[in-house]
Amino acid sequence: MASRVTVKISGPAFRVTAYVVNGKILKQLQSATEEDALYEDEPLSIVGNIALRAIRVANGFCIDNVDNFKFEVRIDEEIKEVEKVGLLYEGCDFEDEFDSEFEKTLLAKSENCEPVGEDFSAKAGQMLVLEFEDIRLAELTCSFDVSSQIGLKDIELGLVDLDVVSEISQATYELGLLNGLEKDIRYIIFNGEKYEFDMDVLSGYASHFVLVKRNKAGQWVQESL
């Protein structure tokens, strides 16, 4: 008999999205007016509709800041007690690292932490417009069906590492633009399959945009739009 698994994480968020643009699109953005804006009278908010590509950099739910978040795991209608949430590094022993019961611990594993932007490489003339969203209260939700018995110990948090060697990391993390975020909670892993979280903004929202581009030395630098 199939069971429905739902994992919810709620708390403050700092969502970051990278929009890939070229010189032509940049000119469109720079000439946009409040009448063009998609929300909050922010002309640059049209970037999501005209960009070449969008890349989620971070949701802002960092595994190192779990004390700021509320976790709920529900299997069918039963809420599972989450005693501890944390990152288990490869080669480390659970009992040495965590003062909690394995059956009541929601883990992420360092060996399953994927690098941000690993498939992205900017072509000549391409730049990034970064959107930073400060959210007072957001909720991540991930739901999926399983055909076998499942407990908290069978569920793993999937992470994206922001401090890596990639162009997206160079254009965000290495420029100090991510508010100290390093390992972003992005999905649930069960039985080798990844199930992504969806984010809902519940209250308190502000957004701003930054342009990053390569200089003559080939380094990513921040510029005003």
Q: Provide the percentage of residues in the chain whose pLDDT is more than 70.
A: 100
Looking at the predicted structure, is the pLDDT value of residue 6 above 90?
yes
Domains of the chain: total? 1
**202/70 Cα distance (integer angstroms):** 14
Q: Which residue is it, tokens 């921040």? A: 222
For residue 141, report the phi and psi dihedrals to the nearest 5 degrees.
-130, 135
Q: Which residue is it, tokens 């994480």? A: 9
**132/143 Cα distance (integer angstroms):** 26
What is the band of 38 on the pLDDT scale with cuts at 50, 70, 90?
A: confident
Residue-wise pLDDT for 169-217, tens only, equals 999 999 999 999 999 999 999 999 999 999 999 999 999 999 999 999 9
Q: Starting at the edge strand that comes first in sequence, how are the strands of the sheet with 183-190 ordered? A: 84-88, 105-115, 156-161, 183-190, 193-196
**128/209 Cα distance (integer angstroms):** 10
Q: Where are the alpha helices (DSSP H) in the chain?
A: 23-30, 47-50, 94-97, 167-170
- R_g of the chain computed on alpha carbons: 19
Residue range of the domain that includes 30: 3-223
Lowest mean pLDDT among 56-60, 76-80, 156-160: 76-80
pTM of the model: 0.92
DSSP line for 101-148: -GGGEEEEEEEEEEETTTT--PPTT-EEEEEEEEEEEEEEEEEEEESS
| pLDDT, mean of residues 40-62 | 94
**61 or 77, which is more confident:** 61
Residue-wise pLDDT for 95-114, tens only, equals 888 888 999 999 999 999 99
**Which residue, among 97, 103, 100, 108, has the nearest Cα to 66 in the 3D structure?**
108
Kindly state the greatest CA–CA separation across the chain: 61
Q: Which residue is it, tokens 């990391």? A: 169
**Which residue, among 139, 160, 178, has the nearest Cα to 87 in the 3D structure?**
160
